[in-house]
């Protein structure tokens, strides 16, 4: 269980991790500046297991994988949004950063609510409000990617078969 950090629509990758920090790529460095331009207190106060809730088109903009890397390294357990920018979505799956699509949950969660997600069955629980939601299931191929733990382990496994 963790605290929900709620953001609005079209949260872009420049907000998730500003380009001025991209001259380095260590995850701890990225985590220290995560969400800085939207909420300067985020990086100091975020706790392991917390959850980010975004609106539509979360992670739009640049292809920088530094964005899901920063979120993952900040200790965020999962991102819940109405939907995602295409490259962010792909990057998150590839690096094993859990993301869920669930407009109802976005509507039903406020900043500070105590929330947990079950990454196996996609259940989202809001303990503060006593409500439960179900995220949209991923297509079969993407589930395989997620099961493998991301693209690198997936390619490694399949290389063995070849």
Partner 1 sequence: MGMTISEKILAAHAGLDKVRPGEIINAKLDLVLANDVTGPVAIKEFSKLGIDRVYDQEKIALVPDHFTPNKDIASAEQSKILRDFVKKQQIKHFWETGRVGIEHCLLPEQGVVLPGDLIIGADSHTCTYGAVGAFATGVGSTDCAAGMATGEAWFRVPESLKFVFNGTKFQPWVSGKDLILYLIGKIGVDGARYKVMEFTGQGIRSLSMDNRLTMCNMAIEAGAKAGIIEPDEITLRYVKERAKREYKLYKSDLDASYENIFEFNSEDIPLQVAFPHLPENTKPVDEASGIKIDQVVIGSCTNGRLEDLEITANILKGKKIHPEIRCLIFPGTQDIYLEALRKGWIETMIEAGAAVSTPTCGPCLGGHMGILAKGERALSTTNRNFVGRMGHPQSEVYLCNPAVAAASAIKGEIVHPKEVVKNG
Residues in 28-87 that interact with partner 1 by CB under 8 A: 36-38, 56-57, 60-66, 68-69, 83, 85-87
Which one, 92 or 115, has the nearer CB to partner 1? 92
Q: How far is CA 119 from CA 23, 74, 85, 99, 143, in A?
A: 33, 18, 20, 9, 11
Nearer to partner 1, 1 or 40 (CB): 40
Stretch that binds partner 1, among 42-50, 88-96, 111-119, 128-136 (CB under 8 A): 88-96
By beta-carbon proximity to partner 1, the closer residue of 72 and 113 is 72
Distance CA 81, CA 98 (A): 11
Binder to partner 1 among 8, 129, 152, 157 (CB under 8 A)?
A: 152
Q: Which stretch binds partner 1 (CB under 8 A): 45-53, 71-79, 126-134, 148-156?
A: 148-156
């Amino acid at each position: 269980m963790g605290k929900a950090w709620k953001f609005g629509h079209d949260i872009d990758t420049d907000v998730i991790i500003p380009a001025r920090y991209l001259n380095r790529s260590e995850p701890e460095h990225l985590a220290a500046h995560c969400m800085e331009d939207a909420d300067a207190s985020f990086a100091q106060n975020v706790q392991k297991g917390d959850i980010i809730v975004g609106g539509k088109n979360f992670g739009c903009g640049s292809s920088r994988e530094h964005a899901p890397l920063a979120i993952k390294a900040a200790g965020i357990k999962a991102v819940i949004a109405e939907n995602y920018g295409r490259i962010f979505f792909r990057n998150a799956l590839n690096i094993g950063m859990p993301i869920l699509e669930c407009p109802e949950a976005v509507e039903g969660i406020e900043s500070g609510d105590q929330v947990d997600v079950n990454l196996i069955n996609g259940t989202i629980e809001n303990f503060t409000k006593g409500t439960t939601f179900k995220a949209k299931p991923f297509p079969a191929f993407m589930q395989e990617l997620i099961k493998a733990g991301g693209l690198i382990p997936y390619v490694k496994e399949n290389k063995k078969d070849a």
